[in-house]
Amino acid sequence: MMRSRVFILLITLSTSFLIVVAAIYVSNTYGNSSEVEEGVGLLPIPPPATGHKQSTPHGSDSYLVWEDSLVDTGSGAQLLDKYNIVGLDLQTKKTLLVTEAACDQHNPQVSGSLVVWGTIQAPCSSGNEDIVGKDLRTGKMYDIATGPNRQAYPTVAGKTVAWIENSATTTRLLMKDLDTNEVLEIRSFPVLSNPPFPPTIYAPQLTDEYLIWAEFGRSESDSGSLSVQLQLYDRRTGTMKPVAQYQIRDTSRPEYAIDRSKIVWYNDTLSVLHIIDLSTGEDVTLNSQDPQSLFLHNDMIICSADQEGGSFDINGIDLKEPKLRGQFMPLVVGEGNQVGATIAGKWLVWANEGGPDDGHISAKPVVQVFATATAR
């Protein structure tokens, strides 16, 4: 009887020790959950007004911005002034109406206190899209790219903005310094009516040091795929070089992200995720299944991932933790789709499609979602 009691006591002590070790690891790695609640707290994102929905969040260390749009009721009415831009000051927790200008205002991108977005000029049916911006701290407005051509896909870092300009004759990738108003042409292709067609310039992403974008077109060898080339422009040296060349399905679009000296991109024909460190030349590959809306911030890779049943949840990898490196962890799971994740200050922010939070932007502390995922 004594031996049995001693044996049970040893098992109990061993189990308690393992629980304590696990708790210490999670606390040291991501912070104590109670400290998370007290130190970070909840982000007071206001719910959308009746008949509206929130989508496409984007964040900086100081601000969160998103689209606020009218819900299409299926009546057949054309909503030409459907989208506005709303923001949240992460320090004061005050909501800001960035713009409610006539016609659509969409695709907000923010760096520091500077937010840029695409705006359709009146008449709203014209489809004439320009790029404008606003300093949320001072209220100063910027006409960044205007005129008869279509300006799209704005991206911002500091006081520099890049975008794609489409005219009847050319497609150009441009970059502008808002302090000097100097505009630099990074890339240009003619618009042709007959093959061979030039590649499509797609979705530039800007950092303080680099500009990255994709160029893709129909693969000559395979009618069911697209040939993609990731291009990188070094802002310090003024030089451009290809980062990767690969194939994707013709129903897909290139998935990639950049932050500081790291690039992450996905080859969907091989189901392989590449992580490139520009400072060392290291290229790490991970097996992954169709990550959507890749986002990279402070060595954390965030994406939407297709789950069983066809819904999307938010997954993530923390590259700073060797024990976790190479493991996508479920960060946000729930009914419906969780999409378009970004990081704003200390919060992970995403949009909900379907489920009980349909049409709402949600947020949780980054340390909390990683700690919870580690404990699963």
Any domain includes 189: yes
The 3-state secondary structure of the chain reads: CHHHHHHHHHHHHHHHHHHHHHHHHHHHHHCCHHHHHHHCCCCCCCCCCCCEEEEEEEECCCEEEEEEEECCCCCCCCCCCCEEEEEEECCCCCEEEEECCCCCEEEEEEECCEEEEEEECCCHHHCCEEEEEEECCCCCEEEEECCCCEEEEEEEECCEEEEEEECCCEEEEEEEECCCCCEEEEEEEECCCCCCCCCEEEEEEECCCEEEEEEEEECCCCCCEEEEEEEEEECCCCEEEEEEEEEEECCCCCEEEEECCEEEEEECCCCEEEEEECCCCCEEEEECCCEEEEEEECCEEEEEEECCCCCEEEEEEECCCCCCCCCCEEEECCCCEEEEEEEECCEEEEEEECCCCCCCEEEEEHHHHHHHHHHC
What is residue 101's predicted lDDT score, i.e. its pLDDT? 86
What is residue 222's predicted lDDT score, i.e. its pLDDT? 59
Any domain includes 348: yes
* pLDDT tens-digit readout, 56-66: 999 999 999 99
Does the pLDDT at position 352 exceed 70? yes
Any domain includes 328: yes
Does the pLDDT at position 29 exceed 50? no
CATH number of the domain to which 293 belongs: 2.130.10.120
* pLDDT tens-digit readout, 319-333: 887 655 567 889 999
Any domain includes 76: yes
Any domain includes 264: yes
Percent of the chain scored above 90 by pLDDT? 59
What is residue 276's predicted lDDT score, i.e. its pLDDT? 95
Percent of the chain scored above 70 by pLDDT? 82
Any domain includes 29: no
Does the pLDDT at position 2 exceed 60? no
Any domain includes 136: yes
* pLDDT tens-digit readout, 300-314: 999 998 876 678 999
Domain count of the chain? Answer: 1
Model confidence, pTM: 0.85
Q: Which domain holds residue 64?
A: 44-375
Any domain includes 21: no
